[in-house]
Amino acid sequence: MKKIPVIPVLAGTLAIAASSQAQQNTAIPSVDPHTTETKAQRDIRMKWWREARFGMFIHWGLYALPAGEWRSQRSTGGFSAGAGEWLMHDVKIPVADYAALAPKFNPQQFDADTWVSIAKAAGMRYIVMTAKHHEGFAMYHSQADPYNIYDATPFKRDPIAEMGAACKKVGLKFGVYYSQAQDWHQPGGAAYGGHWDPAQDGDLHAYVKNVAAPQVTELLTKYHPAILWWDTPVDMSPEDIRSLTAAFSQDPQLIANNRLGNGVAGDTQTPEQTIPANGYPGKDWETCMTINHTWGYKTNDLDFKSSTNLLHNLIDIASKGGNYLLNVGPDARGIIPEPEVKRLQVMGTWLKANGDSIYATAASPYKRQPADWRYTVKGNKLYLNVFSWPDDGLTIAGLQTPVKGATVLATGQKLAVTKDAQGTLSLSRPTTLDAVSTTIELVLSGPPVVMEPVLVIQPQRDGNYQLGATTATLEGNTISLEGPEGRNNIGYWTNNQDALSWRVSTPNAGTSQYAVQLEYSCEPGSEGSTFAVFVDGNASGVTGTITPTNGWDDYRTMTLNGTLSLTSGMHTIRIVPKSKPGLAVMNFRTMQLKPVTP
């Protein structure tokens, strides 16, 4: 896990302003606006969203003006790892001082059609824009609170309305992000870690009733967004939920995410800055991610992901059945930073030629994704997006459905398909390979049916076993492969229910003993996790406790307690966390089994 501006979305476990009284609510069931919906109705409502696969997230607010710096002070840590939109919180700026930014905010170069055309040219099918972030400043003409871009700035325009109209013109769906609990301006609005200015003190539920709920209602009834993107729920009571969703009944097609709070499921899972190893099978999910490290504009965050990395993320996410909500952070003039625009242009060019392998596709039929390519499915078509063509040729194991033909999507070149005695297919190598990903379209005689090939780790010549990140079965939704091209290590092990496992074959007769060495990293402050190694479901007696390294990128090797016994045959070896006092169990790279002579 890298130090990232991901805020664990904690419901109700945060210290918020002491003055917010626990409300003696009568038992009002938490409202999930779509609880009575049938599967067929839900499939109709979610259809456009599932086919879209790729959207633009826009974080734009007063924070674009200071752009990460306040009176030569920069926010570097705390809850947001220095994200631009968290400046007021991280630097503890008094409410009145921060609000003095509003009269200076006049983004005259903002042009909704320009932003929308950038998204459309990138191949994005929808846009979600911040209507009000934690700073409490509304980016639309709110009747519920004069602290907004129309009433409190010389700009006197309504960007949310303009963006909605611009999207409609070109057929993009438009959604709004709303911070329903955190509001660092209004009395009673929540703040992670508590208030820093008495002006913020007040009752959270009164704030929701008098500000947040009226704003959500006016957003839904006046702007009719296709998506409502809640964020950072804090102590949401059933009454808060009911008032915040009061207008849902007016738009049965509205899609809302899973961050409202109080156990409301919502429509979409929202992993942030990470791609879950196995997606969320059977659920709609969307990875939201920054192009650099900040959501809101900062002058000094120039560490932009490459367009290749961004496209590989999109392909990887689509292969797991998810959407990619990629963020841009416009500056105080209303301009999307050029490095972000350039990357989106490259993504759009690739998608123009290969988008059939992304849009309206379903997840790979295989549970395990090959190292060098990803699968997606659309009816009788199986797509391969090949990041790098294997030196020893590209083979497909386990595909039971006959292949009628193979074509390079971008060039139309037909590829030869041969099958060996075991039914494994080989594809001829294309004449030209795309530097980012070469898309192959296999037309099958029907929807693909596969027999999942079981990956069995054999001992190396020296008898050692190398159990690595890319050969592990990742058990759980949070744990993920990450690092360069997602092949460097296991990260985001923030859920101690998640585990890693491997199938190994021990050809030696009798029982062999192994010392176990772990290559891992752990940021100081997250250490202390304990874990055990299981063989075929039984505790092996091998255990370990994570000690800190110098950071998530600093790996070291430690020898675990105990030795592992393996009889001849096939075994499943699992690493199972037993406790996790810190944020994550560890970053995992390899576990080595080294034979010990008895």
Binding site for ligand FHN (CB under 6 A): 6-7, 9, 80, 83, 85-86, 231-232, 272, 288, 295
Residue 150: CB atoms within 10 Å? 18
From edge to edge, which strands make up the β-sheet containing 227-231? 255-256, 227-231, 173-179, 126-132, 54-58, 323-328, 286-290
CB 231 → ligand FHN: shortest distance, Å?
5
Report, in Å, the least distance between residue 179 CB and ligand FHN: 8
Specify the amino acid at residue 158: D
Nearer CB in complex with ligand FHN: 31/288: 288
Residue 337 DSSP SS3: coil
Pick between residue 135 and residue 441 the one whose CB is nearest to ligand FHN: 135
Query: Is the Cβ of residue 231 or residue 441 nearer to ligand FHN in the bound state?
Result: 231
Nearer residue to ligand FHN within complex by CB, 83 or 264: 83
Closest CB 103 distance from ligand FHN, rounded Å: 24
Close Cβ partners of 40 (under 8 Å, ≥ 6 residues apart): none
User: Between 80 and 313, whose beta carbon lies closer to ligand FHN?
Assistant: 80
d(CA 224, CA 175): 9
**Cβ-based neighbours of 386, under 8 Å, separated by 6 or more:** 372, 373, 394, 433, 437, 438, 439, 440
How many helices (H) and strands (E) are present in the chain, helices listed first?
Answer: 10, 27
- Is residue 560 within 8 Å of 467, Cβ to Cβ? no
Taking the C-alpha atoms of residue 252 and residue 269, their distance in angstroms, rounded to an integer, is 19
Residues 6+ apart with CB under 8 A from 47: none
d(CA 115, CA 164): 11
Residue closest to ligand FHN when measured from CB atoms? 7
Q: How far apart are CA 518 and CA 531, in angstroms?
A: 12
Minimum Å gap between C-beta 36 and ligand FHN is 29
CB of 225 to ligand FHN, least distance (A): 16
The CA distance from 143 to 138, in Å, is 10
Least distance in angstroms from the C-beta of 5 to ligand FHN: 7
Nearest residue (CB) to ligand FHN, 232 versus 319? 232
* Min dist. Cβ of residue 373 to ligand FHN (A): 29
- Quote the least distance from Cβ 37 to ligand FHN, whole Å: 25
- CB nearer ligand FHN, residue 79 or residue 531: 79
Inter-CA distances, 539 with 465, 511, 554, 579, Å: 19, 16, 29, 16
What residues have CB less than 8 Å from 545, skipping those under 6 apart? 528, 529, 530
Q: How far apart are CA 289 and CA 190, in angstroms?
A: 24
Cα–chain-centroid distance for residue 488?
Answer: 18
- Indicate the residue among 6 and 204 with the shorter CB distance to ligand FHN: 6
Of 288 and 469, which CB lies nearer to ligand FHN in the complex structure? Answer: 288
Which lies closer to ligand FHN via its Cβ, residue 295 or residue 375? 295
Crossing angle of helices 159-170/112-121, nearest 10°? Answer: 40
Query: How far is 71 from 65, CA to CA, in rounded Å?
Result: 12
The least distance separating ligand FHN from the CB of residue 184, rounded to whole angstroms, comes to 11
Kindly state the smallest distance separating residue 145's Cβ from ligand FHN, in Å.
19
Rounded to a whole number of angstroms, the minimum distance from the CB of residue 9 to ligand FHN is: 6
Over the Cα atoms of the chain, what is R_g? 26
Joined tokens for residue 385: 């997006």
Tell me whether residue 6 or residue 377 sits nearer to ligand FHN (CB atom).
Answer: 6
